[in-house]
Structure 1
Amino acid sequence: MPTTEPVTELDTRYSEPGAAPAAWGEARETLAGAEVFWLTTVRPDGRPHVTPLLSVLLDDVPVFTTGARERKARNLAANPRVVLTTGTNALSHGLDITVEGTARRVQDQAALTRIAEAYTEKYGSDWTFTARDGALHHADGGAALAFEVAPDTAFGFRKGAYSQTRWRFRAR
């Protein structure tokens, strides 16, 4: 995500009276700390495809991986628009985050090495990758493509004291 702060807006239609917008810093912490995310892509025929996955935040940019033959990768080849979502299943507390944007494949060796390190640091040794040939390779022989999500808009849904925050990003 851009290193500059996004424009923050509170949507009063979906917020309790007196609610304040969530700070982008809190959203960033939520994205960095979340373990499970939901990725929505669009199939070539226009139907949505939603799947859980792991993601890391690298330089304020959400990054996820997928196998080259998986439905996600095939969908992204036809349409790179995505929604990445995380949060809690609780109704009384928490901040759910939705990031709408464009998935861009990462192939740079130095960037892939950093992504591999971030996955191991966040998820442990079961998620150790070696970066080479434009992909991340697991010890079991599997390979994954890495994608960063360049955001257009993100939403924060605060629960308990309900509020909805919108963050608008400038083009990178």
Structure 2
Amino acid sequence: MDNTPITVSIERTVDPARITEATAWMQTGINLATTYPGFLGSGWVRSGSDRTRWHILYRFADAAALLHWEQSPERAWWLETGSGFVHEQKTERRTGIEGWFDEPTAITVEHAGTGSPVPPRWKQAVTIWLGFFPLNVAFAYLVAWLVPGWDGLPTVLRVLITTLCLTPIMTYVMLPTVTRLLRRWLAPRS
């Protein structure tokens, strides 16, 4: 069984006439979730004081712990008590590299037990390597050509400069591009 932590993001709309009730309801849900094994944290925010769109995040240690919470009678009761004034709009589940380096390519509304599969760690490692290797080689050739005496700099300084330059490129350009190109391989549809 995969022990990857899962973060769930839920967007809800709230009846503007029942903000006080919705605030208490939201906090009650968080308080209930904290009692479940594997709960790692949560929070919620409103889009603005005059807005009806609210966002809640919660994180569980793994899929089994999350499923235990999502199928619990306490959660079912809690959701039912808010059904008259809070309406779920969309849900996202994030784990692994797709949660850190890429925007989701599609938003899907999910129900308990139906999430998109998380790519195995080895596929995530291959994806990172496919972005990192060519970028690192290109950078090494470019900097050796542009910076006289580059090879004479202490190794720690060269690595520091290299990582300072390449980390933003990897995060914002290479990994989103590579994960987008490999999305069918990373998460094949069943």
Query: Larger Rg: 1 or 2?
Result: 2
Normalized against structure 2, the TM-score is what?
A: 0.29
Which structure has more relative contact order (CA 8 Å, sep 6+)? It is 1
Higher share in helix: 2
Normalized against structure 1, the TM-score is what?
A: 0.31
